């Protein structure tokens, strides 16, 4: 039974994260997931200190506030401080994370959180983190929280699908068509914050980043339709969760880490064997001298690659 709960938690986290992550990947803001998942730490720690309990609701509020604060500070620093987006993001989230770690260390006796569990979570303990409602055992608490956040995300995406789509692909067009871009932007950032926080508590910061970025990127390689990309990213998130769980069981290691590894494995497969644009097929077709009509990869500036 505990296996079921762990896998269900991972799958819910994966679905919630990859749905919003898809938009971050399309908006080229993937690192925002990383930033938010680190920066919410002081919020969680402060909520913990103030309420002296692991009550979820204050934690969600504290973390949500710091998530939005990260987005806000990053944008402010970029505009006022004349810094590049990545540099301002790097400053904001590392500082907030450091403050969070310091708070936790200072109040180690009161705060029952340790740094490693923040990084790679305690998904293995999920089955024992039960929600008792009116004396009735409702099953693990994280399952409920993640399920709720997933539902919120689905409602947000379905109700604003058209607006999100235009916003994701062409912000200027969205503005000119009268889409309330700021509303959509902060709505999306709010969803990212909530998904991050809900998932963070059970699966840890790094797995959150993996779930936000990798399954959507994998799906992005396999389709050119947003609706299919969303569905495929959820599918890959779930597949990674299940296979990651058994990988961890087999190697007797961290479940969250193993799930992150599996998302990477699926991405690698898609990168090489995607029928659309995979490296393997491109080589094969190149041999048949059909590359010209199939070079879909153009349209991306050549200079944009990470060197040091």
Q: Is 90 in the site for another protein (CB under 8 A)?
A: yes
Where is 86: in which H helix or E strand?
Answer: helix 85-106
Q: Is 95 in the site for another protein (CB under 8 A)?
A: yes
Q: Is 251 in the site for another protein (CB under 8 A)?
A: yes
- For CA atoms 132, 136, 139, 143, the dihedral sign is negative
Q: Is 154 in the site for another protein (CB under 8 A)?
A: no
DSSP state of 160: T
Question: Could you tell me the smallest distance in angstroms from the CB atom of residue 154 to another protein?
Answer: 23
The residue within the footprint of another protein, chosen from 86, 112, 170, 290 (CB under 8 A), is: 86
Using CB under 8 A as the binding rule, the residues of this chain from 256 to 275 that contact another protein are 256-261, 263-264, 267, 271
Match 């993001």 to its residue by tokens.
89
Is residue 159 exposed (0-12), middle (13-18) or buried (19+ Cβ within 10 Å)? exposed
Q: Is 119 in the site for another protein (CB under 8 A)?
A: yes
For another protein, the closer CB: 90 or 187: 90
Longest dimension (CA), the chain: 69
Question: Could you tell me the smallest distance in angstroms from the CB atom of residue 88 to another protein?
Answer: 8
DSSP letters, 253-300, are --HHHHHHHHHHHHHHHHHHH-TTT-HHHHHHHHHTT-HHHH-TT-SS
DSSP state of 138: E
The residue within the footprint of another protein, chosen from 277, 281, 285, 294 (CB under 8 A), is: 277
Binding residues for another protein, rule: CB under 8 A, are 25, 28-31, 33-34, 38, 80-84, 86-91, 94-95, 97-99, 101-102, 105-106, 108, 115-116, 119-120, 206-207, 209-210, 212-214, 217, 220-221, 247-248, 251-254, 256-261, 263-264, 267, 271, 277, 279, 296-297, 299-300, 304-308
């Amino acid at each position: 039974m505990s296996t079921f709960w762990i896998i269900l938690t991972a799958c819910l986290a994966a679905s919630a994260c990859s749905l919003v992550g898809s938009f971050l990947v399309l908006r080229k803001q993937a690192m925002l997931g990383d930033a938010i998942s680190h920066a919410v730490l002081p919020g969680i720690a402060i909520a913990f200190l103030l309420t002296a309990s692991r009550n979820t609701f204050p934690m969600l509020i504290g973390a949500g506030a710091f998530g939005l604060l990260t987005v806000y500070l990053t944008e402010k620093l970029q505009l006022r401080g004349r810094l590049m987006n990545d540099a301002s993001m790097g400053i904001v989230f590392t500082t907030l994370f450091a403050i969070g770690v310091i708070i936790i260390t200072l109040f180690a006796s009161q705060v029952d959180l340790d740094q490693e569990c923040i990084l790679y979570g305690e998904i293995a303990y999920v089955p024992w983190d039960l929600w008792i409602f009116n004396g009735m055992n409702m099953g693990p608490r994280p399952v409920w929280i993640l399920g709720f956040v997933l539902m919120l995300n689905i409602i947000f995406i379905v109700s604003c699908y058209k607006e999100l789509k235009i916003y994701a692909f062409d912000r200027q067009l969205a503005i000119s068509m009268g889409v309330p871009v700021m509303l959509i932007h902060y709505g999306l950032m709010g969803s990212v914050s909530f998904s991050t926080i809900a998932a963070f508590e059970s699966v840890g910061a790094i797995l959150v980043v993996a779930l936000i970025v990798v399954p959507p990127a994998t799906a992005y390689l396999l389709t050119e339709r947003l609706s299919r990309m969303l569905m495929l990213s959820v599918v890959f998130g779930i597949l990674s969760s299940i296979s990651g769980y058994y990988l961890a069981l087999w190697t007797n290691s961290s479940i969250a880490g193993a799930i992150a590894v599996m998302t990477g494995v699926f991405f690698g497969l898609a990168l090489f064997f995607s029928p659309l644009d995979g490296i393997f097929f491109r080589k094969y077709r190149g041999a048949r001298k059909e590359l010209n009509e199939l070079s879909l990869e153009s349209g991306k500036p050549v200079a944009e690659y990470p060197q040091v």
